[in-house]
Amino acid sequence: MTRSEATPLTIAYTATSAEPGVNIAALTDALTHHANSALFPGDGEVTLVVQGRAPVTFDLTPMRGDQIEADMHKKAEQINDQLNHMLAEVAAHSEILEASTNGLDVLGVYDQAIAATPQGGEIVMVTSGLSTTDPVDLDAAGDWQLNPSGFVAQINPRDIPDAQGRSITWTGLGQTSTSHAAGTTDPTSTRARPNSQQANKKLHTQHAPGPAARQALHDLWLNLCETSGASSCTIDDSLLPATPTTATNRVPVIEFDQVTTNCLGTFTLAADIAFSPNSADLTQAADKLLAPIADALATCPDGRRINAYGHTAEVPGSGDGIGLSTARATNVLARLQQLGAPRNTIGIPTGYGDTRPTVDNTPNGAYREDLARLNRTVELTITN
């Protein structure tokens, strides 16, 4: 094997006051695997990138003198010791794991992580994805939830970093800080935190996005990742353990209580909000999401049409879900017409069942309900 076969690893955090605190211990398995894969000195290096901070590198490579430790037992002990040392260092200097610039700059952190990672390397992006800085300012982008791919297409290509040759994993999308509200004061001090109401009355705790907004975040960042030329783009929806944030940077709040729409685009309706369990019966909550779309369709130019595509999760022993997904798509289009969408804007319902999943909800053959929820959707697409 040659030296070029090593796989560099970078873990990048936005780590703002609007998100859970950094918990590197939650990535112990990934870090241990990385160190175990070391073939040459330095292969076990891990680079930490945090918004506004200079990258920090730790070497987890298990060594015996100037050679890789060959004894498996001693190798495991060394990796454990190196990892504990890394955790102790970041605990002693916790400020390096807190964003030092205002806003939530996902694209900037992504760019910095790419710069710190040679081609062939892996990047783990730990972020809520709720970017508030140009050119991905979701605080100012009214229709990003309806058409995330269209939003990405409007970004100047020169503002998207070149991720060619890197494998990207996104985790934490949609997770916000709830244990330490961004609009509170330090309980051990009378000094107001920069995100406190005393410091800026316009800044409040960031509410967690619902299923539809989380799906839009997934679509947005996967689309941008693919546009950046990464060799692979995946989402890990296993939740990182929530920890209180100690970051004090100022982050605008993104609102999710209104669904904005226009006459072109895509909106994903989460089944756990829109339908009764295992049913195609619409809930009252569905109207809050469908009414703005129906209103928009009533004012759209001639020729606009909305199609519905139903999706279900893979549930072992429960069939392919095509019948249920078709019924859900059909009922959504019918309800849009009842809410005022012109008949000539109503398109075709299609049920894909579990044949086109957003994520694999049976990884390694084990069914996971948290992932299954992400696959139970009706996708609405307005075209001309």
Q: In angstroms, what CA-CA distances link 318 with 15, 102, 161, 194, 356? A: 41, 48, 43, 52, 16
In which domain, by residue range, is 279 found? 265-383
Of residues 214 and 298, more confidence is placed in 298
Rounded mean pLDDT of 28-36?
90
What pLDDT shows up at residue 241? 61
What pLDDT shows up at residue 175? 86
pLDDT above 50 for 49: yes
**CA atoms within 13 Å, Cβ hemisphere of 128:** 30
Q: Are residues 216 and 84 in the same domain?
A: yes
In angstroms, how far apart are the furthest CA atoms of the chain?
76
Q: Is residue 171 part of a domain?
A: yes
> pLDDT tens digit string along 113-151?
999 999 999 999 999 999 999 999 988 776 677 678 878
Q: Are residues 232 and 276 in the same domain?
A: no
Query: Residue 358 sits in a domain of what CATH number?
Result: 3.30.1330.60
What pLDDT shows up at residue 242? 61
What pLDDT shows up at residue 183? 36
> pLDDT tens digit string along 323-357?
999 999 999 999 999 999 999 999 999 999 999 88
What pLDDT shows up at residue 51? 97
Calpha distance 308→150 (Å, rounded): 18
pLDDT above 90 for 176: no
Rounded mean pLDDT of 91-115?
94
Q: Is residue 244 part of a domain?
A: no
Q: Is residue 291 part of a domain?
A: yes
pLDDT above 80 for 198: no
pLDDT band at 248 (very low <50, low <70, confident <90, very high): confident
pLDDT above 60 for 200: no
Calpha distance 296→293 (Å, rounded): 5
Rounded mean pLDDT of 44-49?
95
Final residue of a domain: which of 216, 236, 256? 236
Sequence-distant (≥ 6) Cβ neighbours of residue 165 within 8 angstroms: 118, 119, 120, 121, 231
Q: Is residue 253 part of a domain?
A: no
Rounded mean pLDDT of 199-213?
57
pLDDT above 80 for 283: yes
Q: Are residues 192 and 325 in the same domain?
A: no
Q: 197 is written with which tokens?
A: 């109401």
What pLDDT shows up at residue 3? 43
pLDDT above 60 for 178: no
What pLDDT shows up at residue 125? 96
pLDDT above 90 for 169: yes
Q: Are residues 98 and 217 in the same domain?
A: yes
Q: Is residue 252 part of a domain?
A: no
pLDDT band at 223 (very low <50, low <70, confident <90, very high): very high
Q: Are residues 176 and 57 in the same domain?
A: yes
- pTM score: 0.65
Highest mean pLDDT: which of 13-22, 221-230, 265-274?
Answer: 221-230
Q: What's the full length of the chain, in residues?
A: 384
What pLDDT shows up at residue 203? 43
- The DSSP string of 114-133 is HHTS-TT-EEEEE-----EE
Give the closest residue to 259 by CA, choosing from 147, 339, 145: 145
Rounded mean pLDDT of 267-282?
90
What pLDDT shows up at residue 258? 44
Q: Are residues 319 and 204 in the same domain?
A: no
266 touches 146 (CB < 8 A): yes
Q: Are residues 42 and 108 in the same domain?
A: yes
Q: Are residues 232 and 84 in the same domain?
A: yes
Q: Are residues 271 and 186 in the same domain?
A: no
Work out the number of other CB atoms within 10 angstroms of the CB of residue 281. 13
Rounded mean pLDDT of 62-88?
91
Q: Are residues 213 and 284 in the same domain?
A: no
Percent of the chain with pLDDT over 70: 86
What pLDDT shows up at residue 187? 30
pLDDT above 80 for 373: yes
Give the sign of the dihedral formed by CA 315, CA 316, CA 318, CA 321.
positive
Calpha distance 1→18 (Å, rounded): 44
Calpha distance 201→300 (Å, rounded): 38
pLDDT band at 270 (very low <50, low <70, confident <90, very high): confident
Final residue of a domain: which of 236, 251, 279? 236
What pLDDT shows up at residue 238? 67
Q: How many domains does the chain have?
A: 2
Q: Are residues 227 and 122 in the same domain?
A: yes
pLDDT band at 190 (very low <50, low <70, confident <90, very high): very low
Q: Are residues 294 and 189 in the same domain?
A: no
Give me the chain's average pLDDT, please: 84
**Least confidently predicted of 13-27, 60-74, 183-197:** 183-197
Q: Is residue 357 part of a domain?
A: yes
Residue 172 DSSP one-character state: -
Rounded mean pLDDT of 307-320?
93
11: β partners: 48, 124
